[in-house]
Each structure stands twice: as C-alpha cells, then as structure tokens.
Amino acid sequence: MKNRASTGSARTVEGGIPENQIVWLRRDLRMKDQPALYAAAQAGPVVPVFVLDDDRPRERQYGGAHRWWLHHSLESLSRSYGKRNGSIVLRQGDSVSVLASLADQVGAKAVHANRHYEPWWREAEEDLRDALPDGCELVLHDGNYLLPPGTARTGGGDPYKIYTPFSKAELELFPPRDELPEPETISQPSDMPDSDDLSDWDLLPTEPDWAGGLREFWNVGEAAAWDRLDWWKDHVDDYEDDRNLPSEDGSSKMSPHLHWGEISPISIWHTFKDKRSQGWKTFEKELIWRDYAQNIIMQFPDYPQESYRDYDEQVLWRNPNRGHLIEEDLKAWQQGRTGYPIVDAGMRQLWQTGWMHNRVRMIAASFLIKHLLIDWRHGERWFWDTLVDGDYASNGTNWQWVAGTGVDSNMFPRIMAPLSQSEKFAAEDYIREYVPELADLSDEDIHDPSEDVRPDDYPEMLIGHRQARERALEAYHDSKS
C-alpha cells in the first residue's frame, strides 16, 4: 500500500518501545516552536536530517547569500543539538531519495516535516509519500506561518487573491495556535547514520570572499533571532513612524531569521499579542503579508516568474538581452551606479549586507521597472541571489506588486520619484553610509547632487526623472493597446 501523509503523533510499537522518527529540516532551523521536532521527540528517538537539494528546485536552488546564511544557521543548530547530546545528519542530493534511504536504514516509522509551499517542495512531499518504505509514514505539520495557508477563505470557500480582505479575514480567525516549547531532551538512535561535513559543502565564498559585510552586519542562528527579538521589544511601538526612515534603525531585521525558520512568527505574535500600539499593528500586518504571499503561490505556483496581468511584454520592456546599452543599465542598477543616490545606496547595501531597507527596496525596484523599463523578473532574480532573506513567495509577490503586473498590485502609472522619496524620508545619513563618495555633501545637496557639487567619481544619472516617467507611461499605453 502506498504511504499517505497524515497529521498528529507517530505510533509506538506494542509494549511501548519507542520507534525511530526522522525530522526533515528545511527552512525551520530552530528548536522552539518547531512542530515537526516537537511531535517526533514525543514519539521516539529522533534523526534530524537536512538535505542540500539542488536538484528539485532546479533554477531556484539557493543563491549565494542564501548559502552563506545557511552554513552559519546549520552550524548554530548543530550546536543546539550538541548541547542535548544530539546531532544532525547532513546529506546532499535529491531529498526524496535521501530520506527514503535513511528511513529504510534506521527503520523509521515516520518522517516528520513542516509543510513548505514552494512548488518543488510540495512536489517532493507528494513524491516522498510513495517513496518511503512500508510501515513508514510522512507526517506533515504546520509550522512556519501564523495560520496555515488556505485557512482564510472567502464566503464562497475560495482562497483570497487580494491582500486587504485576506488580512481582515485572517485577523478574524486569530489567535494563532499556541507556541510549542522546545524539547527538554532529545533521544537519538545509538547507531546514527553517517553525516556529511558541513565544510565540504562549500557554502561560504572563498575566491573572492565577498561576505565580509554580511559577517559584520548579521548574527545568525536561533539565539541571534531571539536576541534581535529582545531588542525589538523596545522599538516595535515606534515602527509606524520609523519604518520608512532608512537612516534610522527602525526595522526589526527579523526577516532572514523568519525566512530560515530560526524563529517562528507564532513566537513573535505571542510576544507582542497584548500590545495596542500602532507600531505593533503595522508590524503584525507585515507578518500577515508573509502568510498572504504563501496563499498566492499556492494558487499560482509560478507567480515569481509569470506576470498575472496581460500586456505586450515585447512592447513594455527594454530587454537586456537585446542590446548592449540596456544590459549596461541593468549592471549599473545592480552595482549601485545609477546616479540616483537613494537607489545606489540601497543596491550597495544589498551587495554589502545581503539585506535592504524595505522602503528603499520599493524605490530601487520601481526604478528598475519604470525608470529603466527593465522586466521585473531581472530584479526578482537579482534579489533572489543577493538577499539573505530572499523568499520565493514574498520576493515574487513584492516585485509583481511594484511592477503593477500582479493579482494585487500597485498601478503601473504610479511611478515613484526617487529624489523626492529620498528627501521625504530623510535618507541623508543612509546615503552617506553606503555611497561614501557623497558623504561630504550637505543634507540639501545629497539627495540630488547638482553638477556644481557632484563628485567626479559619482556617475551621472542614467536618465532624468521626467524623461523616464514620460517614456514609461508611453510604453505602458502602447503595451495595453
């Protein structure tokens, strides 16, 4: 009989002798509020397994910044298991084949996993059901979102496509489930399977080592996530006012910890659930946006690479593959050499730290799409490779929102003005930090340096704002004709 996924605790053999349980780790690299680990630890000896699988995601295998974070997160989690006299089994290859083989080797009665919603992981979960040996079941848990995607539905029973009614419906379904404690003890089989050496995976850059800025900017792992949450307790109330100010440390910077599952949104929600500040309410909506993005890719699995709305792509976009000058514009954007200080500061922060302030993300994305008229997918893929928090669902949803091509998105003719945005949100010190050639300019000059004060080593604008706006509106009109 073929195996079928189930929920709940695994079985023990007659007489109460515990049976081995595998925990399939993916982006859930934590001990606390980890439903798959919690259930497995109650059922029997645990074999935690992380498979570096570049086969199933195909072109969506982890990017460079992802791999840097993953290395350090696995190191951190391994230390946590070590404190409990346990260890993680590391393997490379196809997840389904590896897990099925390990289940047979250790005589596992269950493989526990938190559900993931990227299309390749959903496919892997389906395949694993049929690949496990007889007597072993796949037990799926809900662990990485406030509510399981698909929970909030319209009155007709359909999943939501628009964020605002989705958010309202999800809030009406709250509270989320209770937070689960981390296992006090973890037993493991006396004969654990062999494990790869993490260093042999070559996840860290060496020639060249471009990760110096990441090392300075981030502490990685579950303990670091909780340290950051402790810091955030003193700042979340100010979030509504500070979140748009890139020169202020007004962002939680929890996004990579959430992406890698070093802390769960359930834990964050319960930490702040009794707060009544507008800052917390705004931050709560951003946690709900994570749920919304998963809700979208469940309906449209290819959403991060396929526009939802119809238009003539050949007319609207300047394709970098069609011309040297267009390719140079894309490279200038990637390298932070557009001549727009706020855009360049954001792109350089991204390259240096693997992260970008959220307001600046929108400005930089809008610039690529509407000032340079370069297809949003080029930006999405660049962010995928350079963000430590690059998330398939959230990244694709955010890019389609800015591009005006998504199921719920900003209108394309609403074109952000980078220079006025920079001044409005007081980005002076942010620009000085990441565009040092402009550091000596005054607050008045730094947003839009005139010829009189623009340093020789800072590039001219790729295109003027007014010219870019007129070109974008004309291209948009022609693409809809």
φ and ψ of 304, to 5 deg: -70, -5
The yes-or-no verdict on residue 3 having pLDDT over 70 is no
3-state secondary structure 95-115: HHHHHHHHHHHHCCCEEEEEC
CATH no. of 21-143: 3.40.50.620
Q: How far is CA 237 from CA 255, 287, 308, 359, in A?
A: 18, 15, 36, 18
How large is the average pLDDT for residues 316-342? 92
The pLDDT value given to residue 12: 45
- pLDDT (tens digit per residue) in 265-296: 999 999 999 999 999 999 999 999 999 999 99
Q: How many Å apart are CA 333 and CA 40, to the nearest integer?
A: 47
Q: Are 462 and 338 in contact (CB under 8 A)?
A: yes
Question: Helix, strand or coil for residue 259?
Answer: helix
The residues, any chain, with a CB within 8 Å of residue 126's CB and separated by 6 or more, are none
Percentage of the residues of the chain whose pLDDT score is greater than 70 = 96
What the block records as the tokens of 444 is 């008045």
DSSP 56: S
For the chain, how far is it from start to end, CA to CA, in angstroms? Answer: 56
Structure-token pair, residue 6: 């189930």
**Which of 476, 439, 471 lies closest to 458 in space, CA to CA?**
439
pLDDT at 7: 45
Output the average pLDDT for the chain: 94
pLDDT tens, position by position, 109-155 = 999 999 999 999 999 999 999 999 999 999 999 999 999 999 999 99
205-257 confidence digits (pLDDT tens): 998 999 999 999 999 999 999 999 999 999 999 999 999 999 998 999 999 99
β partners of residue 50: 25, 90
pLDDT of amino acid 319: 81
Helix (H) or strand (E) holding 51: strand 46-52
- Answer whether residue 17 shows pLDDT above 80: no
List, in sequence order, every residue forming a beta bridge with 137; answer none if it has no partner: 110
The answer to whether residue 4 scores a pLDDT higher than 80 is: no
Q: Stretch 452-465: mean pLDDT, rounded?
A: 96
**pLDDT tens profile 367-414:** 999 999 999 999 999 999 999 999 999 999 999 999 999 999 999 999
Domain boundaries, the chain: 21-143, 145-179+222-299, 313-475
At the fourth CATH level, which superfamily is domain 313-475? DNA Cyclobutane Dipyrimidine Photolyase, subunit A, domain 3 (1.10.579.10)
Q: How far apart are CA 340 and CA 313, in angstroms?
A: 26
Return the CATH number of 145-179+222-299, one of 1.25.40.80, 1.20.950.20, 3.30.1600.10, 3.10.450.50. Answer: 1.25.40.80
Query: Is 9's pLDDT higher than 80?
Result: no
Is the pLDDT confidence value at 6 over 70?
no
Q: What single DSSP character describes residue 76?
A: H
If we measure between CA atoms, which residue out of 109, 99, 115, 122 comes closest to residue 49? 99
What's the mean pLDDT in 62-71?
97
- Binning pLDDT at 50, 70 and 90, where does residue 480 land? confident
Cβ atoms 471, 373 nearer than 8 A: yes
- Give the model's pLDDT for residue 149: 95
pLDDT at 78: 97
Collapse the DSSP code of 90 into the 3-class scheme (helix H, G, I; strand E, B; otherwise coil) and give the result: strand
What is the per-residue DSSP string for 152-207? SB-TTSPBP-SHHHHHHHHHHH-S-PPPPPPPS-----SSPPP---GGGG--S--T
pLDDT-above-90 percentage for the chain: 92
